Amino acid sequence: MDYQKFIQQLPTLYQNWGNNSLQPKSDKWPKNLTPKPNINTLNLMQLLNYAVEHTEVNEIYCEIGTTQGLTLIGALSGHTEKMAYAVNNFSNLDLTGELQQELLENLQLFNLESQVFFCDQDFEEFLLELPEVETENNIGVYFYNGSPDYRSVLLGLMLIKPFLAKEALVVINNANKSLVQQAYWDLMASFTEYKILSELPKFAQINHLFGNGIQLLIFDSQRNHNYSPSTIINSCQKNVITAISNLQQWEAESSWQLFYEEAIYLHQQQQWQLAEKKYQELLLWQPNNPLVWLQLGVLYYQTGNYQKSISVISKSLEIEPSSYGYYYLGLGLEKISQIEQAIASYQQAIKLDTNFIDAYNNLGNILKTKGEFEQAETIYRQAISINPNHWGSYLNLGNLMLEQNRAEEAIANYEKALQINPQNPDITNNLNIAKAVKNNPAPTLLNWARRLQQLGKYEAAIKEYRQYLELKQTEAQIYLFLSECYQQLDQKQAAINILQEGTTICHNSGKLHFTLIMMLLQSGKTEQAISQAEIAWQNLPKDYIFSILKHLIIPVIYHTPESISFYRQRFEVELQKLIQTTNLETTESKQNALLGTSRITNFYLAYQAHNVRDSQIIYGNFLHKIMGANYPEWINPLSMLPVKDKIRIGYISNYLHSYSGTLWLTGWLRYADRETFEIYCYYTGNSPDLITEKFRQYSHKFYHIPGNLPAVCQQILNDKLHILIYPEIGMDPPTMQTAALRLAPIQCTAWGHPVTTGLPTINYFISSQLMEPENAQEHYSETLVKLPNIGVAYPKPKDIPNLTKKRSVPPFPRGVRGDRKFQLPEDGIIYFCCQAPFKYLPQYDYIFPEIALQVPQAKFVFLRGTILIPRLEKIFASKGLNSEDYCIHLKIPERSDYLMLNLLSDVFLDTFTWSGGNTSLEAIACNLPIVTCPGEFMRGRHADSFLKMLGVTDTIAKNEAEYIDIAVKLGLEPTWRNEISHRMSLRHNYLFDDRTCVKSLEDFYQQIVRASCSW
C-alpha cells in the first residue's frame, strides 16, 4: 500500500480537518443504508475507502468484526476490482439473524456480493485457518473491529502479521479504551514492523471522530528499529496491568451465590437490563450453569425477545434438561409460531414432571388452536384428573366445547370452574355466552364451520355448513364457502353442483353466478358457462359483468382445433353486439359498465394463436369509451412538460411482487441511470413481498395504492410524468381500465403480457429484437420498439437448490426423484411440461404420444394439467397407448420444489404458439435442455430468443416433426443431453443481467421526450 500518498491526501477529503466538526466532503453514500450511519461512521467509511484506493493491484481488504456491512461498503464502494475478507461469528452474536440479513441486503444493494468472502466464524479460527488458503493476495488494509478486550486485540494483531502486504495500513476501532491501547503497545514492543502513523497532522485530536475512536498503525516489513524503552514503558496502561495482576484474587474473593441472589432480585423487580447484565457476568464465572442460562432465557421471554429466549433456554437444556426449561421453551416457540416444536417442548415438560398442570393446559390450548380438538380434549381431561381443583382446566375444556357448538357440555364445565373460583369474571362471561348459544346455535355453528375450513378440515366443515343451511337456507355466502371446501378436496363437480344449487335459491346473488361461471370455464365447460351467463343476465340485467360474459366468454381450454375458429368468430360477432347494446347515457349505466369491466379482461383471446390486433383495437376503443364516459377529464392528450432536471418515468402494475409478468422488470430499474431519470413506481396489488421491496429500493418514489383506481390515477397526474410504462396489460382488469386513460404524455406497455393492447391511449409496445419476427409491426396497434437481445436484464435466480451442481454428473442421487413430494420414477426420462393448461392447444396433443412411442421410459410431468386429462387420454389411445402410463399430473408446488422439479427433469418441453417466458429462464438457470419451436408471434418465441442469446441452439426446432425428433434424441441419448446441459451452464452470463437493453431503453426514453418538447 502507498501509505505516504494516503497520508498526504487524506485530510483533503474532509471538511474542518482537525476540528470536532469534521465530516466528509463527499455525499456519495445513499440515504437508505440500514442502519443509517452516523457522522463518525461516515468519517470511517471515507477513510477506509481512500485507504483501499491506495492498495496495490494484488492486495485485498480484511475486516474483523463485520456487522451490518457499512464499513465494508465504505471500503469497497467504487473499487469493483478489489476483494475483501469479512469475518464475524454471527451464530453467537446474532441469534435472530437480523444483523446477517441486513449485511446481505446492504451488500446486494451495492452489488458487492461477488467481492466479499464472508466467514461466519470466530476471528481466531479464521486467522488460524488462513494459512491453508492458497492465495497470492496479501492484505493491504486491515480493519480490526472485533471484541475490545486485551486478548482479542492482541491476537487479532499478531495472527494477521504473516498475511499483511510489505506495506500495509492497520486500523483499530475502540482505540481509546485502555485495554485496546495496552494490547497494541504490547504488540509494538514485540514486533518492530509496527508503528503508530504519527505523520498524519492533528489526527490525535480527531481520532475519536472516526467510528468508536480509531488508531492507525503502519506495518512495514523493512522496518527494524523499535520504540525506545522509555516510550513503551510510559505508554503502559497501569489500570490494565493492575487488573490483570489482581484478576485471580478478585475471582477468589467474589461470592457467586450472593451475586446470583442479586440477579434474581433485580429480575423480580423487573429491572431487566441490570438483571441481564448480572446473569451475563455470572456466566463468565460459570459458563455451564444451567440455572443461570434458564433464568436469562426467562428474562428474554418476559421482555419479548423470543428468539434470544429460545436460544438461551436451549443452551440451558443442553447442559441439564428440566421441565421448567422445556415449558418456557414451548412458550417462546409458540410466540414465533413454531407450533410443532412448541408442542414437543410441552410434551417433554410433562414427561419430566407429570404433575405440571400449566404445561398440560398450554399443550391443550395449542392443540386446540391447531385444530387437533380430540387430542386437546384428552389433555384437558388429564389435567383435571391430576388436579380436580384447578379451575383453569375446566375453563379451557369449556371453551373447547363451546367452539365446537357443544353448548350443554360447555355449560357443565363452566359451572364446575365457577364452583372453584366463583368471583372470576371470565368464567361468568363464558357461561352466559354458552347459555345464549344453546338457545340460538346458528351463529356458533357458522363460526365453527368457518374455523374448520380455515384449519383445512374441509369434510368436517362441509358437514357443519350443510347443517347451517338447514337453519338458514338463503345465505348466498354459505354456498360459496361450501364450493371452496369442495375445491380444496379436488371435488370440482361437487363445487359446481353446490353453486348451481345456490344460484337456484339465491338467484339474485351476482357473486354466486359469477363464481359458478368462472368455475365452469376453468373446468372446460364453456357451453355451460355461456348458458349460465345468460341465466345470470336475465336475473341481474343491470349487472354489466353478465352482459360481458354473455357475449365475450372465451374458452380456457379447447377440446378440438375446430372449436378455436368457432369461438374466435363468436367473439368478433358478440363483441359488436355488446358494443351496440351498451348504454352509456345515464350515470347508473356508466358506473355499471365501469364496474363490469373492472372484473374481467379478454385475456384468453390471444391463446387462440391468431393475430388478434384488429379484435383488440375494437375492444380497446370500446373500453376507452367506457372509461371516458366515467372519467372525461382523464382521456384528453397531455402536453410534454419541459425537462428541468431529470426525465420522470413511471411504472404501474398490480404485480410489483414475485410474479412472472413483472419479475423481469427489476433489471430495468436496478440498472437505471439515476443521474438522468427519476423512477416512480405505482403498486396497485396487495401481495407485497421481498421483490416489492426491491422495486421500492430502486424507485425515487414508490406508492402502494391497492384497489383504488381514482387515487392512483390522481397520484400519477400529480407526479407530472414524462413517460408512463405498463409492464403488462391484459391480465388485471383495473390495470387495463387505467391504461385506457391518458395519465402521461407518452404511455407504453411491454411484454409482461406479450399481446398488443389495442388501446388508443398506449403509444409504444416495448419488445425485443430476438423475439420479434420480420413482420412484427403487423401484430401491434402500438408503435413497436425492439430493444437489443431479449429486451430485459433478467436477474439470474439465486435460489436454485444445491442439486444443480450435480446436473452435469447424472444419474441423480437415488431416492431423490422418488421423494414423496415428487413421486417420479427413478429411471424414467422426465419431460417437464410446466406451462398453464390454456397454452396447450389440441392440434399439438399428438406430439406427446409420438415421443412416448420412441422413448418407452418417457414420463410427461404436467403442472395444473388435470383439465387436459380427457384430451390426453383420447390422443394416447389413438396411438394404442394408455396416457396414465406416461402422464403425471402434479399440483403447483412451492418455489423451492418447483425449481427442484426442473433439476430432476431431463427435458423441458416448451409449448407451441405461446412459449414459456419466466419458466424457460428458470429452466435455463437449472441447465435443463429446452425443446422449442418458434411461433408466428412474439409470444411464441420467448425460449427461442433465450437459447439464441445463450448460444445453445441445438434444441430449437423448425417444425413439429423436428421438435419430436429433438425431444426423442434428448430422451434416448443421455451423453448429448448432458453435453447440452453443460454448455448451457457455461454461458449463463450471456443471458442473465444483460444491461445492453437498459441503455437502449433509456436512449429511447430520451429520444421520444426530445421529440415532444424542448429540454
DSSP notation for 283-344: HHH-TT-HHHHHHHHHHHHHTT-HHHHHHHHHHHHHHS--HHHHHHHHHHHHHTT-HHHHHH
Do both 738 and 826 map to the same domain?
no
Please say which residue of 755, 787, 819 terminates a domain. Answer: 787
- Mean confidence (pLDDT) of the chain: 91
CB 923 within 8 A of CB 981: no
Is 939 found in the same domain as 826?
A: yes
Query: Is the same domain home to 75 and 212?
Result: yes
Distance, CA of 44 to CA of 26 (rounded, Å): 13
Q: Is residue 247 part of a domain?
A: no
For residue 3, pLDDT beyond 70: yes
Has residue 538 been placed in a domain? Answer: no
| Mean local confidence (pLDDT), 27-38 | 79
User: How buried is residue 162: exposed, middle or buried, by Cβ count under 10 Å (0-12/13-18/19+)?
Assistant: exposed
Residues 219 and 163 in one domain: yes
* Residue 157: closest CA among 142, 137, 147: 142
Tell whether omega for the bond before 441 is within 30 degrees of 0, i.e. cis: no
In a domain, 626, yes or no: no
Q: Which of 389-398, 817-826, 893-902, 933-942 has the weakest average pLDDT?
A: 817-826
Domain that holds residue 887: 802-992
DSSP state letter for 110 = T
Tell me the average pLDDT across 251-277: 80
Is 102 found in the same domain as 222? yes
| Out of 35-44, 292-301, 556-565, least confident range | 35-44
In this prediction, residues 575-587 reach a mean pLDDT of 96
Spatial contact of 938 and 915, defined as CB atoms under 8 Å apart: no
CA angle 422, 428, 429 (to 5 degrees): 155
- Average pLDDT rounded to a whole number, residues 50-58: 93
Distance CA 1013, CA 330 (A): 66
**Is residue 806 scored above 50 in pLDDT?**
no
109: its cell numbers: 444493494
Strand partners, 87: 64, 119
Q: Give the three-class secondary structure for 355.
A: coil
What's the DSSP call for residue 799? -
**CATH number for the domain harbouring residue 843:** 3.40.50.2000
pLDDT, tens digit (0-9, with 9 covering 90-100), for 122-168: 889 998 888 887 777 899 999 999 888 889 999 999 999 999 999 99
Domain termination site, one of 787, 818, 848: 787
In this prediction, residues 818-826 reach a mean pLDDT of 73
1001 in a structural domain: no
pLDDT recorded at residue 473: 67
With contact defined as beta carbons under 8 Å apart, do 160 and 187 qualify?
no
| CB neighbour list of residue 351: distance below 8 Å, 6 or more residues apart | none
Residue 100 contacts by C-beta under 8 Å, 6 or more apart in sequence? 90, 94, 120
Alpha-carbon separation of residue 40 from 23, 52, 522 (angstroms):
8, 19, 61
What DSSP character marks residue 519? H
Tell me if 787 sits within 8 A of 807, measured CB to CB: no
Work out whether the CA dihedral 652, 655, 661, 663 comes out positive or negative: positive
Q: 437502449: which residue's cell?
A: 1000
pLDDT digits (tens, 9 = 90+) for 79-134: 999 999 999 987 765 566 677 888 888 888 888 888 999 888 888 999 888 888 77
Q: Which residues, in sequence order, are CB contacts of 308 under 8 Å at separation 6+?
A: 95, 96, 297, 300
User: What DSSP letter does each residue of 144-168 carry, written as one string?
Assistant: E-S--SHHHHHHHHHTTGGGEEEEE
Residue found under cell 443481467: 993
Which of the two residues, 402 and 612, has the higher pLDDT score?
A: 612
Which residue type is seen at 633? Answer: E
pLDDT digits (tens, 9 = 90+) for 599-643: 999 999 999 999 999 999 999 999 999 999 999 999 999 999 999
Q: Which residue, 1014, 995, 825, 797, is CA-closest to 905?
A: 825
| Shared domain check, 142 and 46 | yes
- 776 and 874 together in one domain: no
* Domain match, 776 and 867 both: no
The Cα angle at residue 132 between residues 127 and 134, in degrees rounded to 5: 115
- Residue 242 has a pLDDT of 77
Of 543, 523, 521, nearest to 531 by C-alpha is 521
**In Å, what is the CA distance from 338 to each residue of 310, 333, 343?**
11, 5, 9
Side chain identity at residue 697, one-letter code:
Q
Q: Cβ distance 594 to 723 under 8 Å? A: no
Beta bridge partners of residue 649, listed in sequence order: 679, 723
499 contacts 515 by C-beta, under 8 angstroms: yes
Instruction: Determine contact, residues 879/850, Cβ cutoff 8 Å.
Output: yes
Residue whose C-alpha cell reads 437489443 in the numeric block:
788
pLDDT at 429: 81
pLDDT reported for residue 346: 94
Buried b (16+ CB within 10 A) or exposed e, 136-161: eebbbbbbbbbbbebebbbbbbbbbb
Last residue of a domain, which of 443, 477, 495? Answer: 443
Strand partners, 14: 24
CA distance 886 to 854: 12
Do residues 767 and 817 share a domain?
A: no
Say how far apart CA 152 and CA 173 lie, in whole Å: 12
User: Domains in the chain: how many in total?
Assistant: 4
Same domain? For 174 and 208 the reply is yes
Residues 866 and 807 in one domain: yes
As a whole number of angstroms, the distance between CA 162 and CA 193 comes to: 11
Question: Please, are residues 751 and 634 in contact by the beta-carbon 8 Å criterion?
Answer: no
User: Cα separation of 665 and 667, whole Å?
Assistant: 5
Alpha-carbon distances, residue 782 vs 131, 265, 494 (angstroms): 63, 76, 45
| Paired residues of 220 in beta bridges | 167
Residue with cell 435466480: 797
Assess if residue 457 is contained within a domain: no
Q: What percent of the chain has pLDDT over 90?
A: 71
Does 367 reside within a domain? Answer: yes
The answer to whether residue 579 is domain-embedded is: no
Helices (H) and strands (E) counted in the chain, each on its own, are 45, 21
> In terms of residues, how long is the chain?
1015
pLDDT for res 817:
65
Q: How far is CA 13 from CA 47, 76, 412, in A?
A: 9, 17, 80
Question: Do 879 and 838 share a structural domain?
Answer: yes
Q: Is residue 428 part of a domain?
A: yes
Span 957-981, average pLDDT: 97
Query: In CATH, what number is assigned to the domain containing residue 112?
Result: 3.40.50.150
pLDDT of residue 805: 40
* 717: its cell numbers: 397526474
User: Which residue do the cell numbers 386437546 mark?
Assistant: 376
Domain of 320, CATH number, reads 1.25.40.10
